[in-house]
């Protein structure tokens, strides 16, 4: 199996697809968002710097993200799926340096595409568990909680994320699309990019991904 990088607008089934890859093909799942949160929650050396950036409303610097990513990549064995990074060409170049150092490479860049109308429908149906962060969707039979508004695992009440409203989503979507356009061109030129149309049914999108990676 080759290493994969997922790039996808918010509200796609990217994390579901990652989970399926982990379960079926034993990929290592690396999310830079998770790495940052873990650094803070475990009070590791960079926690203070990360918290300061977040508290002042700044994005966490590339320097910190790449440092954490390098540490993580050194630790894993076998193929990985990377989620949340890179978001721009400068990060893509940082990643290339790290991978070269560790003698690793990128097999596939997979862009999971979603139409705006479809995305907004999902956003409006989305509920998350405040404890385990599992994402549910009331508009999707596969992703519905077993009992209305209750997490299957934690048995506590699900919540709507404060930024899951149309205004906020539209803003995030547009920022994402503008930001990643040059990045997609960059990977397309290298022959690494595949585009998968997301589906409301995770299995459908997953079989398209399997066609690319197998
Ligand atoms: Zn839960």
Q: What's the gap in Å between 74 CA and the centre of ligand 1?
A: 31
What tens digit of pLDDT does each residue of 124-151 get? 999 999 999 888 999 888 889 999 999 9
Q: Long-range contacts made by residues 192-195, C-beta under 8 angstroms, separation at least 24?
A: 192/106, 192/108, 192/109, 193/109, 193/111, 194/108, 194/109, 194/110, 194/111, 195/110, 195/111, 195/113
**Tokens standing for 193?**
């990019």
Global pTM?
0.84
Number of domains in the chain: 1
Residue 71 lies in a domain: yes
Q: What percent of the chain has pLDDT over 70?
A: 100
Q: What's the gap in Å between 126 CA and the centre of ligand 1?
A: 14
pLDDT at 101 over 90: yes
Q: Which residues pair with 118 in a beta bridge?
A: none
Q: What's the gap in Å between 176 CA and the centre of ligand 1?
A: 28
Residue 126 lies in a domain: no
Q: What's the gap in Å between 103 CA and the centre of ligand 1?
A: 38
- Which one, of 11, 2, 4, 8, lies nearest residue 143 by Cα? 11
Residue 146 lies in a domain: no
Q: What's the gap in Å between 3 CA and the centre of ligand 1?
A: 29
Residue 16 lies in a domain: yes
**Tokens standing for 70?**
């390098």
Residue 184 lies in a domain: yes
Q: How confident is the model at residue 213 (pLDDT cuts 50, 70, 90)?
A: very high
The residue length of the chain stands at 214
Q: What's the gap in Å between 201 CA and the centre of ligand 1?
A: 21
Residue 35 lies in a domain: yes
Domain that holds residue 101: 4-118+164-213
Q: Are 7 and 180 in contact (CB under 8 A)?
A: yes
Residue 155 lies in a domain: no
- Which one, of 178, 159, 183, 137, lies nearest residue 16 by Cα? 137
Residue 153 lies in a domain: no
Q: Which CATH number goes with the domain that contains 178? A: 3.40.50.300
């Amino acid at each position: 199996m080759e290493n994969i990088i997922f790039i996808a607008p918010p509200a796609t089934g990217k994390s579901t697809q990652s989970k399926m890859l982990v379960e079926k093909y034993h990929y290592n799942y690396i999310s830079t968002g998770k790495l940052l949160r873990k650094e803070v929650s475990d009070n590791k050396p960079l926690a203070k710097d990360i918290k300061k950036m977040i508290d002042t409303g700044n994005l966490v610097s590339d320097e910190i993200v790449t440092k954490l990513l390098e540490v993580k990549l050194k630790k894993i064995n076998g193929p990985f799926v990377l989620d949340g990074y890179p978001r721009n060409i400068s990060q893509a170049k940082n990643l290339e340096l790290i991978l070269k150092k560790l003698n690793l490479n990128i097999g596939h860049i997979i862009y999971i595409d979603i139409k705006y109308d479809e995305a907004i429908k999902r956003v409006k149906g989305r509920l998350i568990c405040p404890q385990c962060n599992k994402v549910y969707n009331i508009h999707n039979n596969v992703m519905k909680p077993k009992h209305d508004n209750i997490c299957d695992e934690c048995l506590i009440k699900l919540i709507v994320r404060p930024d899951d409203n149309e205004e906020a989503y539209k803003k995030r979507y547009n920022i994402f699309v503008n930001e990643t356009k040059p990045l997609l061109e960059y990977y397309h030129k290298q022959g690494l990019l595949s585009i998968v149309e997301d589906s409301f049914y995770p299995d459908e999108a997953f079989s398209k991904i399997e066609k690319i990676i197998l």
